[in-house]
Structure 1
Amino acid sequence: MSIPQVNTAPAATAVLGAATIGSSAILIRLSGESPATVAFFRCAGALAVLAVLAVLEHRRRGPRSRSSHTWSLLAGVLLGITLVLQNHAIAALGAGIATVLSNLQVLFVALAGWALFAERPTRSYFLALPAALFGVLLVSGALETATPTTVTASGVLIGVLTSAAYAAFMLATKRGGRGGPPHVVGPLAEINLAAMGIALLYGLARGDFDPTPAWPAWGWLLLLALGPQLLGWFLITTSMKRLPIALTALILLLQPLVAVALSAFLLGERFSPAQLVGCAVLLAAVLFAGAGGRPASWPARQGELAGSTARVARETANSPC
């Protein structure tokens, strides 16, 4: 049984991916389009590139299993549902509290990853998690809203369901990548295809889908598709194969931090001291968890391997060869 390795290369890839995805909020705001229109075109634009790359990947690495196709399409449906639920959570609770609740996915992912993939989170992960969530709370501004949105039981339920759907999306993505040839582009293309379908159905049902966005909205949607949706999720999907899923989920919490930085730099927005403190706390928590080394369940197994290595070394030394 192979032992998963936590090293700086995939962690750095995940951080870069999270930073890229973190620019989504500002691009969405600049586009001025409805949530359904944004979700559809960000997936459609990425799919246009991924479809070509998926064909090349198929020729190079061979076909994927039926199970891989199934899990990728399921992950895409879950991503589409996540986007829909998140829109309703923001409307019901306000952006601040909705951001906090949607990021509870780290709890669901950590527990499910432990149960499904035997990836026990590190001790540093458990220590960093409360600080990371508190940092998200500060960054979101949920504690500073002068006229807070009324928090209802239904709104909280929608927020929690958003987190659950997001966590299920990540778990399905990781499950689909286990076993078989190491495909990345093909599954990502199918994820975008399924999510695009959910966004289209949602937009048609609400009657706010715009099939022909005008300029400059089209340009912002194109940047959203090629940046966060294509490059960002490609980096996350690649790193997810080599990182514990709980750590990947924690790294994704950096997205609000990037959104705050870009809003200040590009839009000239000013943020409160509490939000800046939240950025620092969140960054420190993620760095602490990422530097925590191996999961707590590894030492015994590594001791067994060390003993086996020593035994082989002794046998080799005693060999006449």
Structure 2
Amino acid sequence: MTKRSSGDFMSMFGLLIGCILFGLGSLIVAHVESVGGFAMAFWRLLISALIFWVLALLFRQKFPTNKKATLFALLSGVALGLDLALWHESIYAVGPGISTLLNSLQIFFLAFIGFVWFGERQTKMQLLSLVLASLGVAFIASPEFAHNKAALWGFVSGIASGAFLALSMAFIRRTHETVSVPILPMMTIVGAGGATSLLPMMLLWDWGKIMPTTLSEVGWILVYGAVMQCLAWGLIAFSIPRLALSLTGLLLLSEPVAALVIDYFWLHKPINGLQWGGAFLVMVAIYLGSLKAKSAKNT
């Protein structure tokens, strides 16, 4: 019992650190202005796939031979690539804080996937949580739409990115349920699947904004791929199979909190009282939805 609790604590801690690092990546995206959102996601996943592949060889971790597990890992990468590209687009449109908060609405997509795929029972509190989240998004959006012409695309892409992130997490869990796959080979496949699927989209939508223009931007992209994808997403992928999806969503609250604080105090984005109130409502909604989903599953 003690050993299992210790393992749960380590998984929760790993997920928390991974989420915070993941959110800090929004600063790099906002800083590297010469590279488009889809291209930025492509480079991040390509760099991570190469790093994970080398580490897998060094640590002699075997790649899966099960075709179903490989397919699930590839599909996780495709979904992750779309999540990152759309999240980047949202960052450019409405800033790191709001875009990361919108991305964190993934908890509702996670709850739905948990119910359909994994039999995680839900309660009526999910409906209340969704109403609170909708009100919160409305409070955040109203001032943004008044002065930001890109607000509509920022909100649509931010919410859509959360749906794809939830799908990516679910596919990671399905991979582990199919067969036990070591973390390094799995993340290599995820990165390769994401980069491959993003290549044609990058060439189509980001032509002319594919390559960084300075050595500084090259360095930031390398950090983005190595730290935010390899370390942060590796911790997330390692922790997800060991925790309920509802608890996963709760711990993911650390990401938007960090991003909002950074956006306001570091990047000096104007966020008024109504928007702070909306952000608070969204985070309360995510918390309640996670808590009640967890309670229902344990009953």
Match of residue 55 from structure 2? 53
Distance in structure 1 (CA, Å) of the matches to 2:129 and 2:143: 23
CA pair 250-297 structure 1, distance change in 2 beyond 3 A: closer
Alignment of 1:288-303 (within 5 A): 294-299=294-299
* Pair 1:36-2:38 in alignment: yes
Match of residue 171 from structure 2? 172
- Residue 272 of structure 1: how far off its partner (Å): 2.4
CA pair 149-265 structure 1, distance change in 2 beyond 3 A: closer
Q: What do the CA deviations read for 1:216-273 (whole angstroms, capped 9, x no partner)?
A: 1112212211222121111211111111223323433543322122234433445323
Distance in structure 2 (CA, Å) of the matches to 1:133 and 1:89: 18
Match of residue 208 from structure 2? 208
CA pair 28-84 structure 1, distance change in 2 beyond 3 A: closer
CA pair 248-200 structure 1, distance change in 2 beyond 3 A: same
Match of residue 80 from structure 2? 79
Secondary structure of the structure 1 residue equivalent to 2:143: coil
TM-score of the aligned structures, taking structure 1 as reference length: 0.72
Given that 1:39 and 1:83 are in contact with CA atoms closer than 8 Å, whether structure 2 keeps it comes out as: yes
Q: Give the residue type in structure 2 aligned to 1:296.
A: A
Which ranges of structure 1 fall in alignment gaps of 5 or more residues?
300-321
Given that 1:90 and 1:98 are in contact with CA atoms closer than 8 Å, whether structure 2 keeps it comes out as: yes
Q: What do the CA deviations read for 1:73-122 (whole angstroms, capped 9, x no partner)?
A: 1111222233445566788x866987676554322321221121122257
Match of residue 237 from structure 1? 237
Secondary structure of the structure 1 residue equivalent to 2:252: helix
CA pair 82-226 structure 1, distance change in 2 beyond 3 A: same
Given that 1:72 and 1:176 are in contact with CA atoms closer than 8 Å, whether structure 2 keeps it comes out as: yes
Secondary structure of the structure 1 residue equivalent to 2:246: helix
Secondary structure of the structure 2 residue equivalent to 1:120: coil
CA pair 184-37 structure 1, distance change in 2 beyond 3 A: same
- Residue 175 of structure 1: how far off its partner (Å): 0.7
Distance in structure 2 (CA, Å) of the matches to 1:28 and 1:155: 14
Distance in structure 2 (CA, Å) of the matches to 1:186 and 1:39: 20
Given that 1:121 and 1:296 are in contact with CA atoms closer than 8 Å, whether structure 2 keeps it comes out as: yes
Distance in structure 1 (CA, Å) of the matches to 2:267 and 2:102: 26
- Residue 51 of structure 1: how far off its partner (Å): 1.0
- Residue 174 of structure 1: how far off its partner (Å): 1.4
Q: Per residue, is there more helix in 1 or in 2? A: 2
> CA-atom RMSD, angstroms?
3.9
| Aligned-residue identity in percent | 25
- Residue 56 of structure 1: how far off its partner (Å): 4.3
Secondary structure of the structure 1 residue equivalent to 2:174: helix
Q: Give the residue type in structure 2 aligned to 1:193.
A: A
Match of residue 199 from structure 1? 198
Given that 1:254 and 1:282 are in contact with CA atoms closer than 8 Å, whether structure 2 keeps it comes out as: no
* Pair 1:112-2:146 in alignment: no
Distance in structure 1 (CA, Å) of the matches to 2:157 and 2:265: 32
Q: Give the residue type in structure 2 aligned to 1:71.
A: F
CA pair 198-253 structure 1, distance change in 2 beyond 3 A: farther
Q: Give the residue type in structure 1 aligned to 2:227.
A: G
Which ranges of structure 2 fall in alignment gaps of 5 or more residues?
none
Given that 2:107 and 2:166 are in contact with CA atoms closer than 8 Å, whether structure 1 keeps it comes out as: yes
Distance in structure 1 (CA, Å) of the matches to 2:20 and 2:278: 16
Distance in structure 2 (CA, Å) of the matches to 1:12 and 1:282: 23
Distance in structure 2 (CA, Å) of the matches to 1:157 and 1:269: 20
Given that 2:61 and 2:184 are in contact with CA atoms closer than 8 Å, whether structure 1 keeps it comes out as: no
Match of residue 147 from structure 2? 147
CA pair 269-112 structure 1, distance change in 2 beyond 3 A: closer
Secondary structure of the structure 2 residue equivalent to 1:236: helix
Kindly name which structure, 1 or 2, has the bigger radius of gyration based on alpha carbons: 1
Q: Give the residue type in structure 1 aligned to 2:195.
A: M
TM-score of the aligned structures, taking structure 2 as reference length: 0.77
Distance in structure 2 (CA, Å) of the matches to 1:148 and 1:212: 26
Match of residue 183 from structure 1? 182
- Residue 191 of structure 1: how far off its partner (Å): 1.1
CA pair 226-170 structure 1, distance change in 2 beyond 3 A: same
Given that 1:109 and 1:249 are in contact with CA atoms closer than 8 Å, whether structure 2 keeps it comes out as: yes
Secondary structure of the structure 2 residue equivalent to 1:79: helix
